[in-house]
Amino acid sequence: MQKRSEIVSARRIIVKIGSALLTGGGRGLDKTAIASWVAQIAELCKQDREVALVSSGSVAEGMARLGWKTRPQSLHQLQAAASVGQMGLVQTYESLFRSHGLHTAQVLLTHDDLSRRDRYLNSRSTLLTLLKLGVVPVINENDTVATEEIRFGDNDTLGALVANSLEADVLVILTDQPGLYERDPSLDPTAKLVHQACINDPALSEMVGESRSGLGRGGMVTKLRAARLAARSGAATVIVGGRENQVLTRVISGELLGTFLIPDTDPLTARKRWLAGQLKLKGSLALDDGAVTVLQESGRSLLPVGVVGVSGEFDRGDLVACLDAHGKEVARGLVNYNAEETRLIMRQPSSKIEELIGYVDEPELIHRDNLVLVG
């Protein structure tokens, strides 16, 4: 999607709603606001579009249900609150969507579920099946086992990873600000809203103060990072004020609301796109110069013979970085053998794999379909 006007033809949309919006500033769930977003999503579904919803709000709802007035410090209490609140969250969505004749599905995910090849393939096919059935998946982080969102307010990233895995056309991040500003509007009231920008425009980093602050609790830095991730599968991102009247239907009808971030890259093939969006590397392989050239110039698979060093502990199917002689990452991919086996077969021809470890899965250490060049 290269132009904002093309948003009207978006077929698959990911909508992300954060805690601050859902809970009206720290109280329980704001059911009136939620009812309005649900009605808008139902309207989008009627227009023959598929919508998946990434929703936070479980901690806040859990706190309200447990009668806690202040947010606890400890992680296990926050996780407990999330598991209590998730019930309220899905109950709310379920009954509201039902009033529009739509089914919902609860999907709790961790970043791992979207990065491990086996789980990624499973979660993707479940979500695609739900969309094909006309069901609206309601996705949240699985806070019992993962804590990224509790720590970093990072459902923005989850939204982007879902957009990647479903090859969505657009990710709409509803937030408590009208969009992205040229400068921090709380410091400079004359700062203007950015209506549209290309995702690789270096000025964007300056605008969100990326160089100053690290990971915010769901601040503009994580939103911009999410938009960059979403762009890797060719999805546009809209960052927009969630309290704006009829915000979703207006954005999708092409109205100039919020900030529209245009993807710059051509869509990669599905698997390569997914690899490029990975967050967690489990280890690295040091390659000899010959292997680096083969990867970079002929797009071939990585064979054990080209590997001269292994670091990290990884399993078959994990994502590892491939480094050149200077330690620079040249590629990343899903490895066919675990770290221990890789140490045994490195520098060796593939014909010796069976003799060295007792069996052969594949002659390649990383198949070219599971490899993506970096940099």
Asked whether 236 and 263 are in contact (CB, 8 A), the reply is yes
Min dist CB 202 to ligand GLU, Å, is 31
CB nearer to ligand GLU: give 86 or 284: 86
Instruction: Round to whole Å and give the CA distance between 178 and 143.
Output: 28
Percent helix, percent strand, percent coil in the chain, to nearest 5? 40, 20, 40
Min dist CB 108 to ligand GLU, Å, is 9
Min dist CB 217 to ligand GLU, Å, is 8
144: tokens are 């019992």
CB nearer to ligand GLU: give 59 or 292: 59
Asked whether 335 and 297 are in contact (CB, 8 A), the reply is no
Min dist CB 223 to ligand GLU, Å, is 15
Sign of CA dihedral 35, 41, 47, 50: negative
Q: Which residues bind ligand GLU (CB under 6 A)?
A: 19, 56-60, 82, 140-141, 143, 149-150
Closest by CA position to 199, among listed 250, 160, 162: 160
- Running DSSP on this structure, what letter comes out for residue 284? E
- The DSSP element (H or E) to which 310 belongs, if any, is strand 307-311
Min dist CB 96 to ligand GLU, Å, is 17
Roughly how many angstroms between the first and final C-alpha of the chain, as a whole number? 23
CB nearer to ligand GLU: give 157 or 370: 157
Angle between the N-to-C axes of helices 155-165 and 117-132, in degrees from 0 to 180, rounded to the nearest 10? 80
Min dist CB 235 to ligand GLU, Å, is 22
Rg value, the chain, Cα: 22
Instruction: Round to whole Å and give the CA distance between 343 and 355.
Output: 14
- The DSSP element (H or E) to which 114 belongs, if any, is none
Residues near 328 by beta carbon (within 8 Å), at least 6 away in sequence: 375
CB nearer to ligand GLU: give 14 or 194: 14
CB nearer to ligand GLU: give 146 or 372: 146
CB nearer to ligand GLU: give 17 or 366: 17
CB nearer to ligand GLU: give 150 or 220: 150
Min dist CB 262 to ligand GLU, Å, is 29
CB nearer to ligand GLU: give 51 or 60: 60
Asked whether 229 and 164 are in contact (CB, 8 A), the reply is yes
Min dist CB 123 to ligand GLU, Å, is 17
- The DSSP element (H or E) to which 283 belongs, if any, is strand 283-287
